[in-house]
Structure 1
């Protein structure tokens, strides 16, 4: 009988808590919505399309590092680890590691459990020898893995420079949470590095406007979650590099004066007023290595592409 993945929904967000978080951000000055709300089922598919764009160098560059250095990474790791994929999405990045790293159990963690379910079931067909577990969880504020993950040594996998969504202080806190979660193993993490501004900005504001659709889809998702009446045509995507903070910022900007209503309240937005939807910090490699040490990791290895645009770090517990 064919093996099937199992699923655990660890902490389904409570509607009241989600509503309170979103409305607090929408009424703040400036308004802000967490980037985790970019990733409903449609948002996850739009992001998968973004990774195919020529301007979006991150996925392609990271993949080239893994393709070239996977044997060196495998030499650093014992066989039989549990690979814990944080923010697994379509699971494609982890799929390339299962065989070369001799993974015995694959745990895919993602906030979008329905999207995750389809992806993991497809992956299991290609890797029937690997135990697979899907965990529906929002780990952005607190990383706690369910008991179903088991007691074996773990390799946490956090690719795509998702760590860039955190401020440096938040990144240090999250890495400190990762340290005990990677019991007996380590962390394999992708980090985007500083590079020319024109390259960075093109990656987050592509000519096909797929990133714009991804960002504006957040408003559709917010409408579903809180009963608001955002009209997508009233808003445009803005993305730019903030050199002082060393980060790309994504915003939604009102094209005209609008009033957005939801049950019990409303907010007026002036033309040009923005909702801040995402940050993506860009690191210097030595600074990120120091951050890993501060978080308690050791025996740190790193690999970069030939241009020095992206780095993959392996850090042991």
Structure 2
């Protein structure tokens, strides 16, 4: 029930109560004096008349108040109707905005899902790329280590090669022999003209003399085969001083005399083979009588 209904109910109750007051006049609401008031004194009659007048005034005031109240109720209902209409409109607008927000939220959620998928794909791709790069980097590092090792090996080879070249320059070795026999040689230096090897160029096949190109310790070998039973003895000589001697004794034919010497030489020192006694020597196209030496 609305406000107007409540107010109507209140007015009806008031009117009913007014009607109850009218019972004082025996239920007659007329504002007329009963003509049949027989035996009622004048004082009592005045009281009834006053009551009737007050009843009439009350009824008129009530009607007036009810009218004013009804007008106020109508105004209030109008305001309430306006407020309800405005409220309904605002609620409608809010519902529309809520719907739009829901739609926008749904779109954003979809976009968020798409973005998350894209981000996941990008992240997966980046992880795969990083893993691939790590593998390639590891491979490159291994290759770099191999290259570094190869470069190191090459440098060591070059160093060894250079050292070998230096060593070759420092190395001194020779072997020379005679390719024919002699029965007349009986003094001086035995010359070995057939050079088999002459590293360092220290041996002179024309003179039979070895000249030390560098300081160091040298090893010298000499082998002389005596001719028939002529007997021969030769010395390994350093700077004119005999160091060791061979013996090809005449007790039997073609005896072989051989010896070796390790000598400390200074650059420019000379070594050669010199006859000590006897004469002649035996050899062939492949030398049997030879002279060799090398630097330690």
TM-score, structure 1 as length reference: 0.16
> Which is greater in Rg?
2
Q: Give the structure with the higher percent helix.
A: 2
TM-score, structure 2 as length reference: 0.17
Question: Which one scores higher on RCO, CA 8 angstroms, separation ≥ 6?
Answer: 1
